[in-house]
Amino acid sequence: MTKDELKIKFESLQEGLNFEEGTEWLTINVDPEGFKNFALLLRNNNELHFDYLFCLTAVDWKTHLSVVYHFSSTIFRHEVVIKVKIEKSNPIVDTVCDIWRTAEFHEREAYDLLGVEFVGHPDLRRLFLTPDHEGFPLRKDYEDPINMIKL
Amino acid sequence: MISLEGLTTLLQTWLQNTLGEPWAFAAESVIVGIAAITLFAFLGLALVYMERKVAALMQIRLGPNRVGPKGIFQTSADTLKLVMKEGLTPDGADKFLFNLAPFMVMIAAMLVLAPIAFARNFQIWDLSIGVLYVAAVSSVAVIGILMAGWSSNNKYSLLGAMRSAAQIVSYELSAGLSILAIVILTGSLRISDIINSQADGWWIIKGHLPVLIAFIVFLIAVTAETNRAPFDLAEAESELTAGFHTEYSGMKFALFFLAEYINIFIGCAINATLFFGGWMPFHIGGWDSFNHVMDFIPSSIWFFGKTMFLIFLIMWFRWTFPRLRVDQLLNLEWKYLLPISMVNLLLVTFMAIMGWHL
Amino acid sequence: MLEELGTNDQGDMIINIGPQHPSTHGVLHLVITLNGETVKKVEPHLGYIHRSIEKMCESLSYRQFIYVTSRMDYLSSHINNHGCALCVEKGLQIEIPARAQVIRVLMDELTRLASHLLWWGALAMDLGAFTPFFYSFREREMINELMEDTCGARLTMNYIVPGGVMMDLHPDFQRKVKEFLRLFKSKIHEYDDLVTGNIIFQNRTKGVGYISREDAISYGCTGPTGRGSGLSCDIRKLYPYEIYDQLQFDEVIETDGDSWARYKVRVGEMMQSMRIIEQLIDNIPEGEFQAKTKAVLKLPKGDFYTRVETARGELGVYIVSEGGSTPYRIKFRSPGFSNLSALDHMSRGGKIGDLMATMGTLDLVIPDIDR
């Protein structure tokens, strides 16, 4: 399906979706509350069949965080980008690693570097940094006087 | 003609004339001991050098070429380095067993040297159960390896030692059965009898296909028993870093290293003795003048030539084949080699009874 | 982390493979649970070479950050650069001259060839055969010299800039590439004799490290790992960039999903890479090698994502721009990271030797995983 067809399909499936304009791939903003059901829809709907999560990351927007999921379908070869906006004080979003196994590592990475907590993740630990590390390096307010050199 | 046999007889008569019977025996023992240790050191250095040159040949490179002409002193320099290194003993190790293990392996290797005939009538001890003794004593080495693996208190070492124990114990069987094939044809366990029985042709030629099969099985078993690639699971550097000798350093490591090469030498020497007539020159039954010409080549050259050829074969294996997996290794022995050598033993027995061999 | 070493409550042995270990090809640390020789669980501990390239890139301009990415997957550094440059070009909508496109693709394929050659030698070494390593390095050395002539570096090329390539090809380039192709073709039979046809090698890899197509998709396995499981995932075919849609080459797909399938895919890919190089080497168009770009690049506000096919799989470059001269946030979706996440699944129930074979055919490059 092309981007426009996908958009029509999504609109028929769920009402009140917040589409983002001017992007290469169809981008949908989703609330963290409804995200898990939406993810299940993406995976299980026979016409969408987004079985391949090829990128999972988070972006620190200073006021809030957004978790960005890039999905693709290995059958229909269409893509969709899902952005979940979460609060910085309470960075909680449901895990998707029971739907896409690759999310297990990607979510650990996002937790390690940006402090996003994925509820229901089986093994949410620091992946790169030591368990006693404080702070989340990829956040914009992270300060490390020793290791960080600012230009 | 100067031969090793002549030298020993000369020395023996001279010692007996000057010192008398008991003292001459003592002096001979000392000389034999020193000679054996010298041979060990020399063999170790020469074989390591040979291995490196063979590896270089296989791997399109030059190999050692800096220390001495063509790099022949490279291995001596390496040994010197190992001698001067600190011999570390890890904290958690069982110190007594840890330090004993390399000597166990070394002593086992040294003991097997006793019945090997290096040249005509040049043998330390021609005991009546020669090949049985070799088979028995060479398996003592596994105790040393197990000791090393256990006492290091290192999991890699333990895994390596366990693999090694399983491997050596298994391959001992088909090696033993292959030896038996020759024992049946010869009717004697004595090394000198086995060699003399090949005066009219080596067993590999006289014994037709069954002996050829026994030879191949024995070659594989020897490669496996000496923990050489493709059967180097005990060391398996890509899996267990260095296997049972992970924690060893300095001279203790060098002893393991040396013992490995001595074991290869012994394995190949036994192989040459059983199937290629040991020091026996290339004879063909009935061709007396041809045999006489062959006799002009000294027997020691025949022996070392055959042994070195077999060692080269084993080195060739090492630098060509990937390593087997542990279950494949045991499958190969228990499901293929052992049944083959058992059937083969039957064939050899049948052949010996019917007198079909040449 | 250290307390959990030893044995667990079920009496299984827990053993550390790495961070210093001959077959982890770097500083990968695997904590494996063993029952005898059988692997029950593999748990990667990462971060030993994590340099936080993503954070570094946030303070580097769009011209500068490309150089850092050479240090991620250092074996396909050129392709990393390529992906980043494509992403910047997508944001700026720069048209790339035809000559630069051909040069980029040529270099990509040479890099892929070099990377696969190294993998081939290293895999054989993981399985206990030393000699193939020297054979593959003999050929790889020629590619490195080619790269050195044109790019000035052998490993971290830094040859691609937004808008094209940094400088024109070396005058000897075409001659040397042809010589390399001729020599490599005359040596391929050695590769088959030494490794591919070896019965021990086949027994070590067949049926080892199996992953089904569904699991490969779920774990996000791409590159030869995905294609070994029958998953069509070659970005060059599915989402062609540069001139890949005009080239004749096949996507090598095997359906067995084991190490042997991954081996065959990679060997097949080397042949396909040669095919691409042969098509292009005599057809490099004349013209500019670099488009005219502004001195300071500023991407418009928005998200940009490009995917390229490295030697290990799909590399995604995700740039979030706020309109400034540096990226606001950058994310590299590295192929090795996703492939590594499937290692536990693949190696459970196998032997330690199987784990090495699986790791070898996944072709892990640790800086690519740790970034």
- Here the CATH number for the domain that contains residue A57 is 3.30.460.80
Is A43 inside any structural domain? yes
How far apart CA B234 and CA B16 sit, in angstroms, is 48
Q: How far apart are CA B64 and CA B50, in angstroms?
A: 10
- Specify the number of domains making up chain C: 1
- The answer to whether residue A111 is domain-embedded is yes
Compute the distance between CA of residue B346 and CA of residue B7 in angstroms, rounded to an integer.
43
Chain B nearest-CA distance from C215, in A, is 26
Mean of all residue pLDDT scores within chain B = 84
Are C127 and B322 an interchain contact pair (Cβ–Cβ within 8 Å)?
yes
Q: What is the DSSP string of C285-324?
A: --S-SB----SS--PPSEEEEEEEE-SSSEEEEEEEE-SS
Alpha-carbon separation of residue C235 from C153, C242, C371 (angstroms):
27, 12, 21
State mean pLDDT over A29-46.
Answer: 84
Q: Is residue A143 part of a domain?
A: no
Tens of pLDDT along B335-346? Answer: 998 999 999 888
Mean pLDDT of B304-318: 89
> What value, to the nearest 5°, has the Cα angle with vertex C323 and ends C321 and C327?
40
Contact (CB<8Å) B240/C352: yes
Q: What is the pLDDT of residue C4?
A: 47
Chains contacting C (3+ CB pairs below 8 angstroms): A, B
Query: Does C61 contact A at CB distance below 8 Å?
Result: no
Residue-range definition of the domain harbouring residue A114: 3-119
C193 vs chain A: nearest CA distance in angstroms? 37
CA angle B54, B55, B61 (to 5 degrees): 100
Contact B156 C15 (CB under 8 A): yes
Q: Is B149 on the interface with C (CB under 8 A)?
A: no
- Is pLDDT of B123 > 50? yes
Question: Is A142 domain-assigned?
Answer: no
Structural domain contains residue A139: no
Structure tokens at C128: 């206990």
Q: How far apart are the C-alpha atoms of C10 and C28, rounded to whole Å?
A: 26
**Quick check: do B and A touch, 3+ CB pairs under 8 A?**
no
- Mean per-residue pLDDT, A120-138: 85
Contacts of residue C34, defined as CB under 8 A and 6 or more positions apart, other chains included, come to C12, C13, C14, C15, C40, C352
Q: Could you tell me how many residues make up chain C?
A: 371
A105/C337 Cβ within 8 A: yes
What contacts A51, CB < 8 A, 6 or more positions away? A43, A73, A74, A75, A100, C217, C218
Instruction: Establish if B324 touches chain C: CB-CB under 8 angstroms.
Output: yes
- The pLDDT of residue A128 is 86
pLDDT score recorded for residue A151? 58
* Residue of B240 and C316 predicted with greater confidence: C316
Residues B179 and B218: beta-carbon distance below 8 Å: yes
pLDDT for the residue A149: 67
C324 shares contact with chain A (CB less than 8 Å):
no
**How far is B172 from B82, CA to CA, in rounded Å?**
32
Mean pLDDT (chain A, rounded): 84
Largest CA distance in chain B: 67
Q: Which helix (H) or strand (E) holds C64?
A: none
CB B63 within 8 A of CB B71: yes
CATH number at residue C144: 1.10.645.10
User: Which ipTM did the prediction report?
Assistant: 0.87
CA distance C57 to chain A (A): 11
Nearest CA-CA distance, residue C128 and chain B, Å: 5
Residues of C in contact with A54 (CB under 8 A): 220, 222, 307, 314, 316, 333
pLDDT averaged over 10-residue windows placed end to end, chain C, 371 residues: 56 82 81 86 87 86 87 87 89 87 89 90 86 88 88 86 86 88 87 85 88 88 88 87 86 88 90 89 85 83 88 89 86 88 87 87 86 81
The reply to whether residue A59 touches residue C329, judged by beta carbons under 8 angstroms, is yes
**Cross-chain residue pair C341–A105, CB shorter than 8 Å:** yes
Distance from CA of A151 to the nearest CA of C (A): 7
Best of C15, C25, C258 to disrupt the B interface (most B CBs within 10 Å) is: C15
Instruction: Give the alpha-carbon dihedral of B294, B295, B301, B303, to 10 degrees.
Output: 90
Q: Name residue A148's amino acid.
A: M
From start to end of C95-218, where are the E strands?
Answer: 160-161, 164-165
Pairing of strands C329-333, C302-309: unpaired
Contact C66, C330 (CB under 8 A): no
Tally C-beta pairs within 8 A across A and C: 89
Residue C370, in any domain of the structure: no
Question: ∠ CA A117-A123-A126 to the nearest 5 degrees?
Answer: 65
Q: Which helix (H) or strand (E) holds B203?
A: helix B203-206
Radius of gyration of the CA atoms of chain C, in A: 21
Distance CA A44, CA A25 (A): 20
What range does the domain containing C21 cover?
A: 6-365
CA distance B232 to C106: 42
Number of domains in chain A: 1
One-letter amino acid identity for C322? E
Please give the Cα distance from B266 to B131 (Å, whole number): 12
B199-208, B218-227, B336-345: the lowest-pLDDT one: B199-208
- In this predicted structure, what is the pLDDT of residue C2? 41
Tell which residue, A22, A63, A30, has the closest CA to residue C301: A22
Is A44 part of a structural domain of the chain?
yes
Q: Which of residues 31-60 of B touch C (CB under 8 A)?
A: 55, 58-60
Distance of CA C87 to the CA centre of its chain: 18
Question: What is the token pair recorded at C219?
Answer: 């774990």
How many angstroms separate the Cα of C107 from the Cα of each of B305, C142, C246, C332? 52, 13, 17, 21
**Cβ atoms within 10 Å of C218's Cβ, excluding its own:** 22
b/e map B137-161, b = 16+ CB within 10 Å: bbbebbebbbbbbbbbebbbbbbbb
Range of lowest pLDDT (B215-229, B233-247, C55-69, C308-322): B233-247
